[in-house]
Amino acid sequence: MPVNYKLDERNHVELPLLAQLESLGYTVIDTSVSGGDDLTATGRADFGQTYLPAVLRASIQRLNPWLQPDQLAGVIAELLSFPASSLVRTNQLAHERLLKGLTVAENRQTGERTPVVRLLDFTGIHEFRTPPGNDYHAVCQFKVRVPGDPTGKLMRPDVVLFVNGLPLVVIEAKSPKINDPLTEAITQLTRYTNQGEYQGLGNPALFYFNQVTVATWRTGAVFGTITTTTRKHFYKWSDPHPAALAQVWRADPASSSTPNDQERLTHGLLTPAHLLSLLASFTVFQTTDEGHLVKVVGRHQQFRAVHKAVARLRQGATPRQRGGLVWHTQGSGKSLTMMFLVREMFRHHDLQDYKIVFVTDRTQLEGQLHETSQVLGYPVRVAGSVTQLQARLRSTTADVTLAMIHKFQETELQAIFPELNDSARILVLTDEAHRSQFSRLAANLDQALPNATSIGFTGTPTEKASKKFGDYIDKYTMREANADGVTLRIVYEGRTHEAELSDEAAAEGRFADVFADFSVDEQLEVLPRATRDAYLESRPVIRAKVRDMLRHFAEHILPNGFKAQIVANSREAAVRYYEELQTALPELLAELEQANPTLIPLDQLRALRAAVIISHAHNDSKRLTDHTKEADHTEHIAQFKQRFPTVVPGPGEPLAPGSLGILIVNNMLLTGFDAPIEQVLYLDRVIVAHNLLQSIARVNRVYNEDKTRGFVVDYVGVGKHLNAALEAYDEEERREITGELDSFDQELQAVQEAHKQLLALATTHDLPDLTDLDSWYELFYDDDFRYEFSTKFQKFARALDALFPHKEGLFYDADLKEFAQINVMAGRHYHDQRLSLKGVPAKLRAILDDYLTAHGVEQKVAPLDITSDEFEQQFATISSPKARAAGVEHAIRHHLAVNMANEDPELYASFVAQLNAIITQFRDNWNEILRHLEELRQRIRRQYQEPTYGLSRRREMPTFRILVVELLPLDTKPTDDQISVLVPTTSEIVDSMKVELNRPDFWRNINAQNRLAAELIDLVLKLRTVLPGTFAKREHIVSRLMEHARKYSDLIRFAE
């Protein structure tokens, strides 16, 4: 029988998740059905404990049976103690402790000095077997106190996974029916970590040992780490390797569909053996280009490829059978995959004697290996020359040798290596295995290491690479990477009619196209040198292209904060591009200062700098050598990878870091260069074969929410070489790659479709006039409509961003502004943050902000609160009673949620019930609804004038109100005599409840509950002296007080 799950969060997401986790070996503790006693269910003394104490103690004792009680207590105290630091630094230290364990002075049973205390059992994880020495728990609705919150507020992550009592995974579940479940889940996870704008709202201790965070809404599920705060860097886990899809647990086993995203991720990522394998071999802490430490956990294709490669190394009988080729598309993390492979090898005792040789030109990989050398297992040594490399290869030591090929001299690579080491326990890992210089070194390594195993990593495989390394170990195509959100689609835009200019006739045809605005004399200057190279190095040609590139960059790329790379035809052309930029930039600025209709950020454009990165050659002129210094290159690259400065320096002030926005190259940085901030590549050099794919992939890296695609602007017609570049791929693979490259026409079609869908919202509801705000307000009363409009508006804005300000994009400018105004005004009216310009790319945001300001729509001023005397004035211009009533209703709901939900939850619930009753009782009678809403608003205002008589508004006043409501006639205020008894009695009642509620097992101990009830009756009866009806209602009042204590126990215990 299929399992029937409702579509709410609890039934549709949480319960299937818990069932699957239980099938994977987790013991499920569902506090939602624990009778209110969460502490007993989880074995904790209080909600400040973010771990499972009894489980932790028992697990460590089981793994280390020689520990004495005092040693066990000391180990746990040390494990849970951390020096003051950032969350990511603490997490890094916790990760190290989990891997290495801790030490004590001695094993008192054997006398061993400083033995290691194991914290986790990793036995069998490399064969995907669950280690038997660990305890695995999944706790649903795990309550944790928010430190320092005066209300005693608790946060309740939906599911927390514990291994040996330590919280390794936090899962936030959302119903797929809510609007934008991913954003809501990410916001909550970020708040729980207590980072960024959510300081003081979470508990970072829950994340000290965290391995991954997960957001799931069943039909979608993604994971990140404690440093992942934007949706762009949360990733799917699409492949449950080593299991086949048919082996994955299903909520509905009879279903013929494939497992949903939640089921795939749960199996692939959260199976205990997989989770511990990721912790052991697939986790690194890296410093970003901007100097921030981040935690990175391997993705499914990396996990799969590494385990497949290790299986070959262990099972293959010959070097050929042990090796192979890993084809993972550009930008999908091949460097990390190589590093993960080495770390995983070290976890296998039978592979620890391997000598490993990295052949690469990625300095980033060198830094990564050094940063993680402590957990890598092998010592890391860099060979900066062939002589050093040969010396390292002769050694029989198991280590990692990094052959930095870009540091080798060309003459060194031409020399033939002698045989240096005939061991079969050598593994050569080659990065971007197709490159010619790598091929020369590979041939030498074959000669020097005749029995070595070779594994190649490439994003653009060639026939030579396949012959060299053998069959594929693993594939991860461009289509798969784009579908997973690991890379971005690339938009190709051609600026020429001809691809190559090999003769004078072809040159004349293109010449007329480029130089339509040039004089005959200027045209004649170029014609005699109309070979391709001479044409592409011509100053008039470069001058024209620079101006076109610079305008494109200023209009399309700079406003969103991204950067550019120009690929010149030669080193001389690269320098000429730089020189022409110095002239073109002031000219463009002068033009824009006169007229800047698309609001290009002129301050940033003034501060913009470019740099040339080219290789050195003998007999170079000073013009070239000024751009060939390696130290300058390093500085330029570092500057390029940083964000543009938020504060632009004034005249005469030094440039801020990050101002370098354009790199000009010839051969360098076309492969192996990762700069996610780069969005556009201007191609002015003919590049063919696999190098073309390598080059255009510079712009497909994920960066932030505004970077939705990369751009390649082609000035030489290399697009026609794409098919030639794909000849090494089979037909299906060629279709996958070309299918991921978009044209300008495709981008225009995307805008047209998004615009059509947005307009349909108006036309299907008979709204021919987009400026009729009253009618829009009425439609927005439906929450589903608000979400649909917000989603489609964001889709339209993002699609248009890629096109704007092309003339085809300007066609939609008026509608974009009208829809933006509707969006923002409705957001203010309904207090709905989804309806705003948040998420609109910065380029369009500047234009829309300017438009809204000009039309009197102030986004930074909050709507008037319901307690304001001028509250009603903001609805004066709205004629529709429904629209006015909707505005008042949502203003009241917003006020109650923000100002009363935590302050006084019982009063909050009372007012919400009154509000819902009004809407239900007078359904569709909007004038009557409006009248009663105004009466409710006035009652809420009066509530703030209520005296507290010295009682705590949060902790004691709810109890005071219960007594008043039960013992006095409706709307009757207590007399002074009654107050003199009610106030101290209220304090005594609350104090008694607090004492009993602090007992861990109170709600499971019927005797304790009866004892409190009896005590409360005695206290309530004190009121008989001033409130004669007390005796008759004593049991009813105590029943209400006990109900209040169960519902708001945290408030009673912790609020001030």
DSSP states along 294-315: EEEE--HHHHHHHHHHHHHHHH
In this structure, of 306-320, 426-440, 1030-1044, the range with the lowest mean pLDDT score is 426-440
pLDDT score of 165 more than 60: yes
Give the residue-averaged pLDDT of 410-415. 66
The two three-digit tokens of residue 50, written as one number: 């973010």
Cβ of 669: how many Cβ atoms within 10 Å? Answer: 23
pLDDT higher at 135 or 456: 135
pLDDT band, very low/low/confident/very high, at 734 (cuts 50, 70, 90) = low
Strand-pair category, 293-297 with 283-287 = antiparallel
In this structure, of 242-256, 422-436, 524-538, 653-667, the range with the lowest mean pLDDT score is 524-538
The two three-digit tokens of residue 610, written as one number: 């470019």
- Per-residue model confidence (pLDDT) at position 935: 87
Main-chain dihedrals φ then ψ at residue 920, nearest 5 degrees: -75, -45
- Per-residue model confidence (pLDDT) at position 463: 64
Per the CB < 8 A criterion, the answer to whether 456 and 320 are in contact is no
User: Which is nearest to 933 in space by CA: 962, 941, 412, 585?
Assistant: 941
3-state secondary structure 403-425: EEHHHCCHHHHHCCCCCCCCCCC
The two three-digit tokens of residue 818, written as one number: 């009208």
pTM of the model: 0.79
pLDDT higher at 965 or 214: 214
pLDDT score of 649 more than 80: no
Q: How far apart are CA 59 and CA 119, in angstroms?
A: 8
Most confident of 130-134, 378-382, 699-703: 130-134
As beta bridge partners, residue 140 has 30, 159
Strand-pair category, 159-163 with 166-173 = antiparallel
pLDDT band, very low/low/confident/very high, at 354 (cuts 50, 70, 90) = very high
Non-local CB neighbours of 250 within 8 Å, separated by 6+ positions: 259, 263
Cβ of 236: how many Cβ atoms within 10 Å? Answer: 20
How far is Cα of residue 750 from the mean position of the Cα atoms in its chain?
A: 25
Per the CB < 8 A criterion, the answer to whether 14 and 173 are in contact is yes
Cβ of 147: how many Cβ atoms within 10 Å? Answer: 13
Give the residue-averaged pLDDT of 150-175. 91
pLDDT band, very low/low/confident/very high, at 407 (cuts 50, 70, 90) = low
- Residue type (1 letter), 813: D
Torsion angle of the four alpha carbons 625, 626, 629, 634, in this order, in degrees rounded to the nearest 10? -140
User: Which is nearest to 453 in space by CA: 362, 336, 354?
Assistant: 354
pLDDT higher at 103 or 944: 103
Cα dist from 164 to 25, 120, 479, whole Å: 13, 7, 39
pLDDT band, very low/low/confident/very high, at 866 (cuts 50, 70, 90) = confident
Q: How far apart are CA 680 and CA 662, in angstroms?
A: 10
- Per-residue model confidence (pLDDT) at position 319: 92
CA-only gyration radius of the chain, Å: 34
pLDDT score of 452 more than 90: yes
Q: What is the pLDDT of residues 654-694, one digit of tens each?
A: 777 888 999 999 888 877 688 899 999 998 887 766 677 77
User: Which is nearest to 647 in space by CA: 703, 603, 704?
Assistant: 603
Where does residue 768 rank: exposed (0-12), middle (13-18), buried (19+ CB within 10 A)? Answer: exposed
- Per-residue model confidence (pLDDT) at position 902: 67
As beta bridge partners, residue 359 has 403, 430
Q: What is the chain's length? A: 1056
- Residue type (1 letter), 98: L
Q: What is the pLDDT of residues 1005-1020, one digit of tens each?
A: 888 889 999 999 999 9
- Per-residue model confidence (pLDDT) at position 530: 45
Non-local CB neighbours of 742 within 8 Å, separated by 6+ positions: 489, 490, 491, 492, 709
pLDDT score of 178 more than 60: yes
Residue with tokens 């799969």: 304
Q: What is the pLDDT of residues 937-976, one digit of tens each?
A: 888 888 777 788 999 888 888 899 889 888 998 778 899 9
pLDDT higher at 178 or 337: 337
Per the CB < 8 A criterion, the answer to whether 141 and 9 are in contact is no
pLDDT band, very low/low/confident/very high, at 984 (cuts 50, 70, 90) = very high
User: Which is nearest to 835 in space by CA: 825, 848, 843?
Assistant: 825
- Helices then strands (H, E): number in the chain? 43, 26
As beta bridge partners, residue 404 has 360
Q: What is the pLDDT of residues 581-614, one digit of tens each?
A: 999 999 999 999 999 988 888 988 998 999 999 9
pLDDT band, very low/low/confident/very high, at 426 (cuts 50, 70, 90) = very high
Most confident of 56-65, 251-260, 402-411, 864-873: 56-65
Calculate the average pLDDT of the chain.
Answer: 84
Q: How far apart are CA 39 and CA 1050, in angstroms?
A: 12
- Residue type (1 letter), 613: I
Q: What is the pLDDT of residues 559-580, one digit of tens each?
A: 999 999 999 988 999 999 999 9
Q: How far apart are CA 110 and CA 100, in angstroms?
A: 21
- Per-residue model confidence (pLDDT) at position 363: 61
pLDDT score of 167 more than 90: yes
Give the residue-averaged pLDDT of 475-484. 85
The two three-digit tokens of residue 840, written as one number: 């609109």
pLDDT score of 515 more than 50: no
Non-local CB neighbours of 901 within 8 Å, separated by 6+ positions: 908
Non-local CB neighbours of 180 within 8 Å, separated by 6+ positions: 787, 791, 834
Residue with tokens 């209709």: 597
Q: How far apart are CA 420 and CA 432, in angstroms?
A: 24
User: Which is nearest to 66 in space by CA: 105, 20, 99?
Assistant: 105
The two three-digit tokens of residue 509, written as one number: 């045809």
Q: What percent of the chain lies above the pLDDT cut of 70?
A: 86
- Per-residue model confidence (pLDDT) at position 861: 52
Give the residue-averaged pLDDT of 991-997. 91
Per the CB < 8 A criterion, the answer to whether 306 and 344 are in contact is yes
- Per-residue model confidence (pLDDT) at position 509: 43
Where does residue 854 rank: exposed (0-12), middle (13-18), buried (19+ CB within 10 A)? Answer: exposed
- Per-residue model confidence (pLDDT) at position 218: 92
User: Which is nearest to 553 in space by CA: 591, 519, 588?
Assistant: 588
DSSP 905-934: HHHHHHHHHHHHHHHHHTTT-HHHHHHHHH
The two three-digit tokens of residue 709, written as one number: 């695609």
pLDDT score of 506 more than 50: no
The two three-digit tokens of residue 543, written as one number: 């001058």
pLDDT band, very low/low/confident/very high, at 517 (cuts 50, 70, 90) = very low
pLDDT higher at 926 or 115: 115
pLDDT score of 433 more than 60: no
The two three-digit tokens of residue 180, written as one number: 């934008």
Q: How far apart are CA 259 and CA 255, in angstroms?
A: 9
pLDDT score of 713 more than 80: yes
Q: How far apart are CA 482 and CA 459, in angstroms?
A: 14
Strand-pair category, 136-140 with 27-30 = parallel
Q: What percent of the chain lies above the pLDDT cut of 90?
A: 38
